[in-house]
Amino acid sequence: MSYVVINGGRKLHGAIQNQSAKNSAVAILCAAAAVRGRVVLTAVPQIEEVYRIIELLKSIGVQVDDSKPGTVVLDSSAPLRLAAIDRPASEKTRASLLLFGALAAREKGYKIYKSGGCKLGHRTVRPHLYALENFGVAILSRDRYYEVVNHPLRAAAIVMYESGDTATANAVLAAVLAPGASTIKMASANYQVQDLCYFLNQAGAKISGIGTTTLTIVGVKKLQAVKEYSIMPDPIVAMTYIAAGLVTRSTVTIKNCPLEFLELELYKLQKMGARLTIKNKRHSENGKFAVVDVFIQPSTLVALPDKIEGRPFPGLNMDNLPLFVPILALAKGRTLVHDWAFENRAVYHLELQKLGVKVTLLDPHRVWIEGPTKLVANEVVCPPALRPAVNILIAMLGAKGRSVLRNTYEIDRGYENLYETLNQAGADITVVRE
């Protein structure tokens, strides 16, 4: 266990390098279990969520070499040992559900423990079950585990019950090895699904329609070894640093931001009065995405006149929605934040009241944020959800004085060297080990 001490009120400066995408990395790591050969992944974020997936894969017999920081080499050629699955690792990350699709073509039956991740209220797995059953995967929900029976895969034309990122990824993983042509309608087109599809195509899959809500997939007999695939940059981490820059009223550049997955967020911020400049447009390291640098200057902010809510891509990202809250707290006026997709996440914004933020909870999905707020230092325990937890850190950066943030594992799940990165940009954060 550890906690962090933040001496807030300091300006950020210089350039902050964005990290690679957590959700892409965990999806592609799981997908490697479907490749009976060597896979080399680069730009893999060194975060707790990735460590849990690596522990999970090692436990079932995947050969993993992660000795070089940022590079993971996997080989799933040998028979797998699902009975030996790492229960604690499985239970700590919801991304373990991606094994449903990844193992659909190679394991006849197995059990996998029910997963954790952010505590966001009831999070249905029905979209996974409904999608996968069309391809021949039967999943029974038991008290503490899922019992999976894989029948010979078959092509299917399906409509996603819910346009979820992980559920779509599972459907894609099953379809790429199902004989025949499959279509997936109402598919998520979000960044991690696109990144997964580009990786799978490099492994010999035949996926078209990437970036749209209708995917067409022609099944192949097997996936091939991948010499190297670089994980894309993370739009949510980029938005986190953008929020930190605005809340601390800093002059700072956030580098390597995936533009397509931040355009609406940046536009809304500009409508609030944020002084943002997009610079140096180029291709990501894997060549599939446009990336830019975002230059931020101290800004006088006004509240959005309309409510703000998350939507499936190309709408405002569901995980970026909470990151508007500390920014709205400094804006003159009142804004309704509607987090309709998760049952409990909006409730966690109440923790920001301890730092002076004016938050009114209307119901489990909606809050009013009223500003401008003078942020105050305090001691807070991270809520059990990644983005609401990092929101507290952002607010503490903007609050003059000494703050203490506890239970930071929630943040460490998704952020690589966050405190060191912020310190290099001018913050004053000390990690204390207990």
Mean pLDDT of 225-234: 98
Express as a percent the part of the chain with pLDDT over 90: 88
Q: How far apart are CA 121 and CA 360, in angstroms?
A: 20
DSSP string, 395-406: HHHHSBEEEEEE
Residue 344 has pLDDT above 90, yes or no: no
Report the phi/psi class of residue 3: left, alpha or beta, with left for phi > 0 and alpha for psi in -120 to 50. beta
Other C-beta atoms lying within 10 Å of the C-beta of residue 122: 7
pLDDT band at 206 (very low <50, low <70, confident <90, very high): very high
Minimum mean pLDDT range among 24-38, 137-151, 208-222, 298-312:
137-151
Q: How far apart are CA 96 and CA 361, in angstroms?
A: 32
Task: Kindly report the average pLDDT of the chain as a whole number.
Answer: 94
The pLDDT tens digits of the residues spanning 113-154 come to 887 544 434 456 889 999 999 999 999 988 888 999 999 999
HSE-CB at 236 with a 13 A cutoff on CA atoms is 23
The pLDDT tens digits of the residues spanning 40-51 come to 999 999 999 999
Distances (CA, A) of 253 to 249, 276, 283, 297, 393: 12, 9, 18, 9, 19
Q: How far apart are CA 311 and CA 22, in angstroms?
A: 19
Nearest to 425 by CA among 239, 254, 281, 278: 254
Q: How far apart are CA 349 and CA 388, in angstroms?
A: 7
Q: How far apart are CA 106 and CA 381, in angstroms?
A: 43
pLDDT band at 343 (very low <50, low <70, confident <90, very high): confident
Distances (CA, A) of 210 to 21, 96, 226, 394: 18, 23, 19, 34
Paired with 148 in beta bridges are 110, 139
Domain locations along the chain: 2-19+233-433, 22-230
304, 336 in Cβ contact below 8 A? no
Nearest to 95 by CA among 132, 50, 127: 50
Nearest to 390 by CA among 425, 416, 424: 416
The pLDDT tens digits of the residues spanning 248-282 come to 999 999 999 999 999 999 999 999 999 999 999 99
Kindly state the DSSP code that residue 378 receives in the 8-state scheme: -
Mean pLDDT of 382-406: 95
Residue 284 has pLDDT above 50, yes or no: yes
What is the reported pTM? Answer: 0.94
pLDDT the model gives residue 116: 56
Tell me, which fold does domain 2-19+233-433 have in CATH?
A: UDP-n-acetylglucosamine1-carboxyvinyl-transferase; Chain (3.65.10)
Order the strands of the 379-381 sheet from edge to edge: 379-381, 401-406, 2-8, 429-433
What torsion, rounded to 10 degrees, do the Cα atoms 326, 332, 333, 337 define?
A: -20
Kindly state the DSSP code that residue 383 receives in the 8-state scheme: P
- Catalytic positions are 118
Angle between helices 191-202 and 22-31 (to 10 degrees): 30
Please check whether the domain covering 22-230 is classified as CATH 3.65.10.10: yes
The sign of the dihedral angle between the CA atoms of 336, 337, 342, 343 is: negative
pLDDT band at 91 (very low <50, low <70, confident <90, very high): confident
pLDDT the model gives residue 125: 84
**Amino acid identity, position 318:** M
Nearest to 170 by CA among 151, 152, 188, 154: 188
Q: Exposed, middle or buried by CB within 10 Å (0-12, 13-18, 19+), for 154?
A: middle
What are the two backbone dihedrals, phi and then psi, of residue 77, each rounded to the nearest 5 degrees? -70, -35
The pLDDT tens digits of the residues spanning 184-198 come to 999 999 999 999 999
Other C-beta atoms lying within 10 Å of the C-beta of residue 1: 9
Other C-beta atoms lying within 10 Å of the C-beta of residue 71: 15
pLDDT the model gives residue 342: 84
Q: How far apart are CA 333 and CA 429, in angstroms?
A: 31
pLDDT the model gives residue 114: 82
33, 99 in Cβ contact below 8 A? yes
Mean pLDDT of 390-411: 96
